A and B are shown apart, each in its own frame.
Chain A
Amino acid sequence: MDERKDSEINPTKYGTTVERKSERELVVTRTFNGPAHIVFDAWTKPELLKRWWAPKSFGVSFLSCEADVRTGGTYRFVFSHASSEQPMSFFGRYVEVTPHSRLVWTNDEGDEGGAVTTVTFEERGGETLVV
């Protein structure tokens, strides 16, 4: 109950922070008010992922969202964009998938060496810290 109070007093508790860790690394952190298995599901089930990955403010919408979320699996997201007739695709590979705690994927759509994204899920008292 005390935790509930804290979040009322301090709404920034669920703020999103971005910090530059090195020349080519950014760290994004955010806490969610729910257990890790739920947050993890939302990142790994395509039908759930497509409901939050591209919010309206992005000006894009999902044409398709395929993701085979397991180590070695691949994904492909295709979006339509208001300012372009060509759909945009993002695709890559899941390097590591550890249920409810860790996800690592690559972005392979760029010409140069693609970005690698690592997400960790850490549950603390019913909330989940995502880094």
Chain B
Amino acid sequence: MVQYTGTVLDASFAALSDATRRGVLEQLGRADASITDLAEKFHMTLTGMKKHVGVLEQAGLVTTEKVGRVRTCKLGLRGLEEEAAWIERYRQRWAARFDELDKLVEELKQKEKADGRKKR
């Protein structure tokens, strides 16, 4: 069930929709790395990796810093917490609804049983 259309989250979810980009995040979770390192690790061209890192950077999931001739990538501060928190809030909303629905289902079941007995 989908019910959200915020640009920031859109960018994050779009960034995460690619297996290579998820791999890059995992890798950066272990250690910072240069674009060259990442390109090698994922068997990609520098240009290809730059593009992926660009998407992650725009979504705020990764930050990069150029020192001398090397661009180092690290996990963004915002990380995935915002997404996780949003999903958790969404879950709690449905859980609260469903707790109410439990009561209603129980009530309807009892009612049906009672009606069934009356008919017989």
State whether A115 touches B100 (Cβ < 8 A). Answer: no
B67 at the interface (CB under 8 A from A): no
Is B109's CB under 8 angstroms from A53's CB?
A: no
* Partner among A30, A33, A117, A119 whose Cβ is within 8 Å of the Cβ of B3: A117
Q: Are A18 and B102 in contact (CB under 8 A)?
A: no
- Kindly supply a per-residue 1/0 record for chain B positions 1-16, scoring 1 wherever the CB is within 8 Å of any chain A CB and 0 otherwise: 1111100000001101
> Interface-forming stretch among A38-46, A63-71, A80-88, A94-102?
A38-46
Contacting A at CB under 8 A, from B28-83, are: none
CB distance from B11 to the nearest CB of A (A): 11
> How many whole Å from B98's CB to the nearest CB in chain A?
5
The reply to whether B3 and A107 form a contact with Cβ atoms under 8 Å apart is yes
- Candidates B1, B5, B87, B102; contact of A32 at CB < 8 Å: B102
Q: Across the interface, which residues of A come within 8 angstroms of B100, CB to CB?
A: 51-52, 55
Residues of B within 8 A of A48 (CB): 104, 108
B108 touches A110 (CB 8 A): no
A115 touching B108 by the CB < 8 A rule?
A: no
Contact of A24 among B2, B94, B96 (CB under 8 A): B2
Contact surface of B with A, Cβ cutoff 8 Å: 1-5, 13-14, 16-17, 87, 90-91, 93-106, 108-109, 112
- A-B residue pairs in contact (CB < 8 Å), sample of 29: A15-B95, A16-B91, A16-B94, A17-B91, A18-B91, A20-B13, A23-B16, A24-B2, A26-B1, A27-B1, A28-B91, A30-B95, A32-B102, A33-B106, A34-B105, A34-B106, A34-B109, A38-B105, A38-B109, A39-B105, A48-B108, A52-B98, A52-B100, A53-B97, A55-B97, A107-B3, A115-B5, A117-B3, A118-B1
Additional pairs, 15, CB under 8 Å, beyond known A20-B87, A32-B105, A112-B5 = A15-B95, A23-B14, A27-B1, A30-B95, A32-B98, A38-B108, A38-B109, A48-B108, A51-B104, A52-B103, A55-B99, A58-B93, A110-B5, A115-B4, A117-B3
